Structure 1
Amino acid sequence: MKAVLSNLSSIITGFLGGAFLCMLILLSSAFTVHEGQRAVIMRLGQLKTDLNSRPIICEPGLHFRIPFLESPYYIDIRQQIWIMDSDPIQTIDQLYLLVDFYFKWEVSDSAEFFRIHTAGGTRSWDAAKSNVEFLLKQRVKNAVLEEFGRRPLGRLVLEDRRDIMETFGAGLSNSLKDLAVKLVDLRLKKIELPDDVSEKVYNRMRTEREKSATMLRASGLEQSEKIRAQADFDVKMILSKVQSDALKMKGQVDAEIMKMYAEAFADQVAFYELMRSCEMTREVFQSPDNILIVRPEKVFPGIYKREHIQ
């Protein structure tokens, strides 16, 4: 009886030990990928691949591995933000600006990110992230320097910041593919002038405005003179035409009057001569200082005849 109990106890102990070992193996083979993460599996220092030789990427959820042979490497696929403060940047007109900007990035290819930045899995995620941000900082800064270096200060101040960043943000995103990351957003926080540059900029702006005002005044005076000269010319032309038309009309009227006189006095020549003599005499004697010395028979031949005078 004791032997049977001893054997049963050994069986139970072995079963419990085996169950505990199986549970331990099961627990050590299971791993969880959380939201915002992806995981790749390393097998003896190499990425585990599927039947098509593509790296296996573990999505969020519960997964299993072969204990002691395989180990997961977690990659954070959430957007990461990096802020750059007050970096001096030179414009095309040799002026320096203090530019604050930030960019957001995320992992675009987990397997490639693992190969490039983790040194075979020996580098932690934080270390890999720092390495990526260092490389991104250099490339983004160089891109910003190049883009700002092609623009004068005036355009940088007047243009929309979003338009400036979007102009070269798309090209910069393509240049980051070799890092297995994607540039999500790149924004300017502020653009400021250093104190020693501000006064130079203001003086130059003041000079340019004064020059522009002088040119506008000169142009206005020139236009004013042209308009005035044209107006004077038009007035003279109009007056000349009016005077010419008036003289023509006067000539026509005088001709009509003379014609009417001629027709009216055609049969009264002596009376016409008398009337003209009277009119001439009246015109001469309009002033009391005028003296007319003539022979009467020459002026009034119809009245002063020689026999009457005698």
Structure 2
Amino acid sequence: MGRFTAIIVAILIAISLTSILVVNEGERAIVSRFGKVLKDDGVTRVYSPGLHFKIPMLDKIKFMDARVQTLDGAADRFVTSEKKDLMVDSYVKWRIKDFERYYLSTNGGIKANAETLLQRKINNDLRTEFGRRTIKEIVSGSRDELQSDALKNAAESAEDLGVEVVDVRVKQINLPANVSTSIYQRMRAERQAVAKEHRAQGQEQAEIIRAKTDASVTIQTAEAERKALTTRGEGDAEAAKIYADAYTKDPEFFSFMRSLDAYKASFSGENDVMVLEPNSEFFRYMNSSTGK
């Protein structure tokens, strides 16, 4: 009897433990029994954090996160008012507001279904806002206004999911890869054309400077040669005048010095041979000291 009683007690304890429903902080729970959600006066019963009781083996529990959650989906393509494509990467902060509606609209509170539906609604709202603006307006400062309008529209469209959209943010805006490539190629071609033009202008300026420099050098060289010839002519004239003055003062001495220079130049070599008559005028100072 004692053993049977112990077994009964153990079974009762096990049933008691399995009948306890623990809902953690930041969670909510909905209980379904025989495939139907438990309701109070026609309203779905939502269990708040704490200890609750359920019928073991019959009740199925669905826990739902009541905290603010982040939906960070993949970048999507949007079209501006100029019919320009943009790749927009955004994220959404959201939380469950109406747990009953959320449970029913997501096929039993499945988070993946909720995120898929919410992402679709957010993208539609963002697509509408991007379609009203040009690229310049989006990039140059109206992004805050765009996000504010998208948040307002998303808050309204997400109500049928039982979800409250806390915030909508655009992380990054890029051009599609094929468009970016064509734009970069066009920019590169434009920069190369500008560089080529600057290079041609530089070469033109270099040729002009080089021509001016060559002309200046030619003029300066010609002027220097002219001055040199003038100076040389003036020197030659001055020398000739000095020689003439010296010659007129003592013609005989001048003739003697010229003869000595001629002798030095003629007899400077070892094998010099001269064929002259002995009484030639060239030897007059050799034959007589007076040259007569």
Question: Do the two structures share a fold, i.e. TM-score over 0.5?
Answer: yes
Q: Are 1:172 and 2:162 an aligned pair?
A: no
1:28-47 paired onto structure 2 within 5 Å = 28-47=18-37
User: TM-score, with normalisation over the residues of structure 1?
Assistant: 0.55
The one-letter code of the counterpart of 1:18 is: I
Choose the corresponding residue for 1:182, options 164, 167, 170: 164
Cα deviation, residue 107, structure 1: 1.3
Q: Deviations over 1:184-227 (max 9, x none)?
A: 11101122234146469989xxxxxxxxxxxxxxxxxxxxxxxx
Choose the corresponding residue for 1:133, options 115, 126, 131: 115
Q: Are 1:27 and 2:17 an aligned pair?
A: yes
Choose the corresponding residue for 2:89, options 83, 100, 123: 100
Structure 1: tracts of 5 or more residues without a match = 1-9, 120-124, 204-310
Change (3 A) 1:201 1:182: farther
Structure 2: tracts of 5 or more residues without a match = 189-292
Choose the corresponding residue for 1:78, options 67, 70, 92: 67
Change (3 A) 1:183 1:200: farther
The one-letter code of the counterpart of 1:112 is: R
Aligned length: 185
Q: Deviations over 1:100-121 (max 9, x none)?
A: 11112211111222222235xx
1:94-243 paired onto structure 2 within 5 Å = 94-119=83-108, 128-194=110-176, 195-196=180-181, 198=183
Seq. identity, %: 30
Change (3 A) 1:197 1:155: farther
Counterpart residue number, 2:192 = none
The one-letter code of the counterpart of 1:37 is: E
Counterpart residue number, 1:91 = 80
Check whether the contact 2:125–2:153 (CA below 8 A) recurs between aligned residues: no
> What CA distance in whole angstroms lies between the structure 2 residues aligned with 1:106 and 1:137?
13
> What CA distance in whole angstroms lies between the structure 2 residues aligned with 1:91 and 1:200?
22
Cα deviation, residue 85, structure 1: 3.9
Cα deviation, residue 158, structure 1: 1.5
Choose the corresponding residue for 1:56, options 39, 42, 45: 45
RMSD: 2.3
Choose the corresponding residue for 2:7, options 5, 17, 20: 17
Change (3 A) 1:72 1:85: closer
Cα deviation, residue 94, structure 1: 1.8
The one-letter code of the counterpart of 2:22 is: T
The one-letter code of the counterpart of 1:163 is: E
Change (3 A) 1:192 1:81: same
Check whether the contact 2:98–2:162 (CA below 8 A) recurs between aligned residues: yes
Q: Deviations over 1:209-263 (max 9, x none)?
A: xxxxxxxxxxxxxxxxxxxxxxxxxxxxxxxxxxxxxxxxxxxxxxxxxxxxxxx
User: TM-score, with normalisation over the residues of structure 2?
Assistant: 0.58
Check whether the contact 2:80–2:130 (CA below 8 A) recurs between aligned residues: yes
The one-letter code of the counterpart of 1:156 is: I
Runs of 4+ that moved beyond 6 A: 200-203
Q: Determine helix, strand or coil for the equivalent of 2:115.
A: helix
Check whether the contact 1:96–1:197 (CA below 8 A) recurs between aligned residues: no
> What CA distance in whole angstroms lies between the structure 2 residues aligned with 1:201 and 1:140?
34
Q: Deviations over 1:93-141 (max 9, x none)?
A: 122222111112211111222222235xxxxx6xx11111111121111
The one-letter code of the counterpart of 1:183 is: V
